[in-house]
Structure 1
Amino acid sequence: MIKGGIDTALRAGDAERSLIKYPALILLGAALQGFFRYCWRINIHGFSRRCEADLRDRVFSHLQKLPLSYFQYAKTGDLMSRLTNDIHAVRELMGFGSLAIVDAVVVIVFSLTLMITINPWLAFWSMLAMPLIPIVVRFFGRQIFRWSRDTQAQLSDMSAYVLENLSGIRVVQAYAQEQNQIRGFDAISSEYRRKSMWLTTLWGIFWPLMQVMAGLAATVVLWLGGRQVLQGTMTLGEYVAFTGYLGMLTWPLMAIGYTANQYQRGTAALSRIAEVLDTPISPRYRALPASNGSPPIRGAVEFRNLTFVYAGADAPALKNINLQIPAGTVCAIVGETGSGKSTLVNLLLRLYEPEDRTIFVDGVDIKQLPRRRLEDAIGYVSQDIFLFFGSVRDNILLGAENGETDRVDEAARIAQLLPAIELFGAGFDTVIGERGMRLSGGQKQRTALARAIIKKPPIVILDDAFSSVDAETEDEILRELKQFTQGRTTLLISHRLSTVRDADRIVYLRAGELIEQGTHTELIARRGAYYELYRRQNLAREVESMARAEGRP
């Protein structure tokens, strides 16, 4: 249209009419181009956004099902970076990167076709620099991919450092480590800046090279096309149209560079996401046949020839454990730190995977029990309490799908949490902050205990659940729990023998081996490891009592 408009205008008889006709046609063409570009941009961007949401949901869902051993080595900040920055890079590749490719292909095909129609030989000479483009893209693409991946990994390290620092800000300030933390962050940030600057340098070289190639084509057209116009073998309109189409090729050339950028970043990010998705999920999430007709779990627990070794460990954490816990009884597990007490209950919960036919509930191998049925049957209070941001009520009701909301008061009363709740202005609706920052250690443990109680499970596991409460509060909790645990199988782990002395059975672990079991009276009479521990704790209490009587701290 530009060609026709100029050539027609140069002919005196058609000049006035062409000044109306061709601008109108050009305006119509631009409007149509804008409409179709709008349509495909909406579709491509919408597609990329849906893919981003689906991929993020899939990665998060996969993380929820990975074994605990994976999180022992993975950094939380790194995983957060993969869920945010890396998925964003993939979305950019699928969105604007795909759009740029579609746009470039359409414009290149359209422009080249018309250029060849106008002047095939001039089109041939103007395209001589084009074969250099794949060579440049291939050479720089390799370097950009490597440095993009390194930069994203460094960003993950920086995110992990910040997350760990803020999570432990109390310890940082209590030990006056602010400057050390600042220096550590500065070192990581400087390395990130160095890698980012080198990546920027690569792009700073790459983009001008692409523009130089476009400039070479324009130079060829100016020289050869200008000569043809002067010789009369090419009209001015054809020359202007040809240079216009050549100018339209500038964006596709730039789009190739931009898409190369997005491709390298997107593929680097996608490879990091694939590392997460390729990690096998925990066997506890494998589907098992439904058990709708199965009788309710009574709570009989048996450990049969159980041996367990953590991944990468030299020695087993548990060695040939044989133990039967009848339904409705209280079994206490005691022993030195690191003797395998928590490992034993973690295996019962299938937080780690035991060998086949080593742990049974009501005579059924727990690996043959549907995961949901096993989880609903166990109320668990760990020694490492974790509370989520939200209200006290939300944290107590966590996971209690079979617990009525109106039983929150009762669960809090049994856990001796009500006196603390009454001091809060909003009661159970009090927001406790991230990780329960507004609660004391004892209040956190009692909240976690109420969370287990409200489920009304047939099996209750208390893993050192009273370590942060004073002896008087512990006695009150135990009195309330005694009634609650009647008819429920209870596994009670504690370092305080005063907590476990009334248990139906006491098991003593040392270095992963079960060396003693029996009632408190039986073990004292045996004068073994349990007796020695009992004697040391009694002596420590007597010394503490004498110190208080003398007024010493």
Structure 2
Amino acid sequence: MVEKKLAGISLLYYPALILIAAMIQGFFRYSWRININGFSRKAEADLRERVFSHLQKLPLSYFQHHKTGDLMSRLTIDIQAVRELLGFGSLASVDAMITIVFSLACMIAIDPWLTLWSMLAMPMITITVRFFGRHIFRWSHSVQEQLSDISAYVQENLAGMRVVQVYAQEDNQIAGFRKISSDCMRKNMWLATLWGIFWPLMRVVSGIAATIVLWLGGRQVLQGTMSLGEFVAFNGYLGMLTWPLMAIGYVVNQYQRGTAALSRIGEVLDAEPSPRYNGAAAGEFNLLAGRTIDFRDLTFSYGPGNGPALKNITLEIPAGTVCAIVGETGSGKSTLVNLLLRLYEPADKTIFIDGIDINRLPAPALTEAIGYVSQDIFLFSGTIRDNILFGMNTADMAAIEKASSMAQLLPAVQEFTGKFETIIGERGVRLSGGQKQRTALARAIIKNPPILVLDDAFSSVDAETEEKILTQLRQFMAGRTTLLISHRIATVRDADIIVYLRHGEIIERGRHQELLARRGAYYELYRRQQLVRQVENLDRLDGPL
């Protein structure tokens, strides 16, 4: 009876121990999974924020040489691959190490020599990982690059959908996408082939170890040097090594993908920020007061292989005056403005505001002092109000309406049901070209800047609307230094000084009447535009045939 009771107790005791051990194992695995996965998610968020913040400070030239879709892929797909490496990759590594240490300790306790024999196949793991790892990394990197190409192609196609449909290029775009997608599939198939060979080899290694144990351990059981229970336990511990072996393969996969992605992210982080963010501390300069702009022997080119876009520009724009710049397309007008804004870096001591080299000015002081409207308008997919207040902390509705009225935007806004809260869609798709320009102009006006730069800001509005805007702006520009760039003589004729650029050089400067009297390039441009206007008036009078 006593023996039966002891046997009954044993039947309850050992299963209970196994249950407790499983519960403890489950608790610790849950704990480290929560911590490791939580760490990987935080690291992902921090890395994504750091990359995005770094992108905000890169020079404009960087974005002219890198596709938007490629950068988006690095911010999403690549960072996700890094997160998987830090998350489940680290988790699998920790899990595998703990299991390997525990299993080997138990195997050595049962039979050290049998453990040594069973480990003879393990060096094959190192050889397999080293051989395949090199090729897997190369193809993983190539696949990541191909995914970036797909993202860039789709982004460009969707952004230019209107042009695609107008020119009936849908089939050609589909063919182009099919080619890129096929290349991606081909590279993925090569990568899958490598993994298709790698995983079975890992199983072969574990199978060799099991075969050795079955042969040598079975002999020891038959010879009586090992009990059947020890043999079963040894095989159980050896079986526990199967998952770590598989985990090694998984970790190698995550490591190769993660390091390939990390190298692409590193390329972004290694890019040098624009020098405009390396200026003096913002507190060293107050808001610029005098607003005198001075260009001194300024020469600039976009790269070593390119000729100078601007040559020996010397120009002083006194505070409170309006300086107009005219010239043919490609003469350097917008380049001059970009250098003033430090979107490109001018040479030291070539551009001054109030006698201060702009390369010494911190970016906030420079951007606060300048209100800028570019010829390439970009609006964000928020409300009209959000776009007008872009760059402003806050402003009351009266100020928004005043700026909109001055930009001749208010009548158009009042026609919308939502007024200033109207959602304008991606890149302002719900607005016409003229409405976009007037929104951008209101955005510059509401800043109330001491310096106003209008880079062909009226190209998308008709002559009548332009005249209304200029009438309102004349009062606003009074006392402000204004740089006015335009192709239309009617826009610049009232400027205090007019500069004519050709091939990056100033060939004429003076007031409107002075330049007409010289009968030079400015006069020829004026005469051509007068002829065009006369022809348009005649066509309007004649009416349709």
TM-score w.r.t. length of structure 2: 0.98
Range with bigger deviation, 13-22 or 316-325: 13-22
Q: What is the rounded CA distance, in whole Å, between the counterparts of 1:384 and 1:96 in structure 2?
A: 45
Measured after TM superposition, the shift of residue 37 of structure 1 is 1.1
Q: What is the match of residue 138 of structure 2?
A: 146
Moved over 6 A (4+): none
Q: What is the match of residue 457 of structure 2?
A: 465
Alignment of 1:56-95 (within 5 A): 56-95=48-87
Amino acid at match of 1:167: A
Classify the secondary structure of the residue corresponding to 2:221.
helix
Q: What is the rounded CA distance, in whole Å, between the counterparts of 1:511 and 1:306 in structure 2?
A: 14
Q: What is the match of residue 325 of structure 2?
A: 333
Q: What is the rounded CA distance, in whole Å, between the counterparts of 1:469 and 1:223 in structure 2?
A: 89
Q: What is the rounded CA distance, in whole Å, between the counterparts of 2:89 and 2:529 in structure 1?
A: 68
Alignment of 1:122-137 (within 5 A): 122-137=114-129
CA 383–161 in structure 1, closer or farther in 2 if over 3 Å, else same: same
Q: What is the rounded CA distance, in whole Å, between the counterparts of 1:289 and 1:21 in structure 2?
A: 72
Classify the secondary structure of the residue corresponding to 2:147.
helix
Alignment of 1:501-516 (within 5 A): 501-516=493-508
Q: What is the match of residue 200 of structure 2?
A: 208
CA 471–293 in structure 1, closer or farther in 2 if over 3 Å, else same: closer
Measured after TM superposition, the shift of residue 225 of structure 1 is 1.4
Amino acid at match of 1:162: V
CA deviations over 1:357-377 (Å, ceiling 9, x no partner): 100101111111121111000
Classify the secondary structure of the residue corresponding to 1:141.
helix
Contact persistence 2:279–2:360 (CA under 8 A):
no
Q: Percent identity?
A: 71
Q: Unaligned stretches of 5+ in structure 2? A: none
CA deviations over 1:201-236 (Å, ceiling 9, x no partner): 110110011011111111111222122222222112
Contact persistence 2:146–2:180 (CA under 8 A):
yes
Range with bigger deviation, 398-407 or 370-379: 398-407
Amino acid at match of 1:356: D
Q: What is the rounded CA distance, in whole Å, between the counterparts of 1:189 and 1:385 in structure 2?
A: 33
Match status 1:392 vs 2:406: no
Alignment of 1:395-414 (within 5 A): 395-401=387-393, 404=396, 406-414=398-406
Measured after TM superposition, the shift of residue 292 of structure 1 is 5.4
Q: 2:362 aligns with which of 370, 374, 398?
A: 370
Measured after TM superposition, the shift of residue 406 of structure 1 is 3.8
Measured after TM superposition, the shift of residue 14 of structure 1 is 5.4
Contact persistence 1:334–1:493 (CA under 8 A):
yes
Match status 1:451 vs 2:443: yes
Measured after TM superposition, the shift of residue 313 of structure 1 is 4.2
Match status 1:349 vs 2:341: yes
Classify the secondary structure of the residue corresponding to 1:273.
helix
Measured after TM superposition, the shift of residue 294 of structure 1 is 3.6
Q: What is the rounded CA distance, in whole Å, between the counterparts of 2:258 and 2:348 in structure 1?
A: 42
Q: 1:298 aligns with which of 284, 290, 307?
A: 290
Q: 1:242 aligns with which of 231, 234, 248?
A: 234
Amino acid at match of 1:107: T
Match status 1:532 vs 2:524: yes
CA deviations over 1:384-435 (Å, ceiling 9, x no partner): 0000000000000000237555411000000000111011010000000000
Measured after TM superposition, the shift of residue 174 of structure 1 is 0.7
TM-score w.r.t. length of structure 1: 0.96
Q: What is the match of residue 542 of structure 2?
A: 550
Q: What is the match of residue 175 of structure 1?
A: 167
Contact persistence 2:424–2:430 (CA under 8 A):
yes
Measured after TM superposition, the shift of residue 290 of structure 1 is 3.9
Cα RMSD for the two superposed structures? 1.4
Measured after TM superposition, the shift of residue 543 of structure 1 is 1.3
Amino acid at match of 1:194: R
Q: 1:116 aligns with which of 108, 115, 118?
A: 108
Match status 1:32 vs 2:31: no
Classify the secondary structure of the residue corresponding to 1:113.
helix
CA deviations over 1:106-139 (Å, ceiling 9, x no partner): 1111100110100111111111110110000000
Q: What is the rounded CA distance, in whole Å, between the counterparts of 2:129 and 2:287 in structure 1?
A: 66
CA deviations over 1:296-346 (Å, ceiling 9, x no partner): 423110100000011244210000001010111111000000000000011
Measured after TM superposition, the shift of residue 12 of structure 1 is 8.6
Contact persistence 1:287–1:370 (CA under 8 A):
yes
Contact persistence 1:100–1:259 (CA under 8 A):
yes
Amino acid at match of 2:241: L
Q: What is the match of residue 189 of structure 2?
A: 197
Q: What is the rounded CA distance, in whole Å, between the counterparts of 2:394 and 2:80 in structure 1?
A: 38
Match status 1:521 vs 2:513: yes
CA 287–362 in structure 1, closer or farther in 2 if over 3 Å, else same: closer
Q: What is the match of residue 416 of structure 2?
A: 424
Q: 2:263 aligns with which of 263, 271, 274?
A: 271
Q: 1:496 aligns with which of 488, 495, 507?
A: 488
Contact persistence 2:81–2:257 (CA under 8 A):
yes
Contact persistence 2:320–2:481 (CA under 8 A):
yes
Contact persistence 1:379–1:456 (CA under 8 A):
yes
